[in-house]
Amino acid sequence: MLAVFDLDGTLTRGDTLSRYLGAYLTRHPARLLQLVRVLPVLAHFAAGRADRGALKAAWIAAVLGGRSRAELEAWTAQCVPHLIAQGLRHDALAALEGHRRAGDALVLLSASPDLYVPAIGRALGFNETVCSGLEWDRDRLTGRLATPNRRGAEKARCLEALRLRYPHLPVTAYANAASDLEHLRLADRAVLVNGRWCARRQAARSNIARVRWR
């Protein structure tokens, strides 16, 4: 079996990017001044003229733009153990361990960026990580997306690509948001984790299992 897990809100209790960037700002408060650069993109997003990928890139660029690869690798090495120790759902870890014991192939599929998602995947024993890629200018982070934002239809495309690479394995997928329903519907077995009311209602219409994880 191929077991595909979403990260934010599924494995974790909250949004990992906001924790990653927020903790960095706490350590580097001078970067708070850069947040003014996000306001135009935020206004465009509110007006429907910018998508979530553009907003994500703006936040990352404002907080981390221009930082070196070595500095951000060191920051990730600090953040990931703390997130794993305090931010994961116990039931998610149990489900992950069940798949591991069964010998299933494990894939972490997330819209969060490759600054830290691969490190989480390695720490949790995933065989593969698929996430949003960020652009670098030589050794410096620009903050712009180098791949599509792995959300919604793009996440479904990623799942279809995984099916092609694991053609003989049935797919079980876990995710938490209404935007995840598109790729959940492609799985042989789909589980909506801690979904909101609207997502649960849509999942029920598609015969997708709904669970509450602690």
Task: Give me the tens of pLDDT residue by residue for the chain, a chain 214 residues long.
Answer: 999 999 999 999 999 999 999 999 999 999 998 889 999 898 988 888 989 999 999 999 999 999 999 999 999 999 999 999 989 999 999 999 999 999 999 999 999 999 999 999 999 999 999 999 999 999 999 999 999 999 999 999 999 999 999 999 999 999 999 999 999 999 999 999 999 999 999 999 999 999 999 9
Query: How does pLDDT run across 5-55, given as a tens digit for each residue?
Result: 999 999 999 999 999 999 999 999 999 988 899 998 989 888 889 899 999
Thinking of the domain 2-211, which architecture would CATH place it in? 3-Layer(aba) Sandwich (3.40)
- How high is the pLDDT of residue 45? 86
The DSSP line for the chain is -EEEE-IIIIIBSS-HHHHHHHHHHHH-GGGGGGGGGGHHHHHHHHTTSS-HHHHHHHHHHHHHTT-BHHHHHHHHHHHHHHHHHHSB-HHHHHHHHHHHHTT-EEEEEEEEETTTHHHHHHHTT-SEEEEE-EEEETTEEEEEESS---STHHHHHHHHHHHHHSTTS-EEEEE-SGGGHHHHTTSSEEEEES--HHHHHHHHHTT-EEE---
Six token digits for residue 41: 């993109």
Residue-averaged pLDDT of the chain: 95
- Per-residue model confidence (pLDDT) at position 50: 85
Distance (Å, rounded) from C-alpha 67 to C-alpha 15? 22
Would you call 147 exposed, middle or buried from its count of C-beta atoms within 10 A (0-12, 13-18, 19+)?
Answer: middle
The pLDDT of residue 165 is 93
Note if the pTM is more than 0.75: yes
Structural contact between residues 103 and 127, judged by C-beta atoms closer than 8 angstroms? no
Domain boundaries, the chain: 2-211
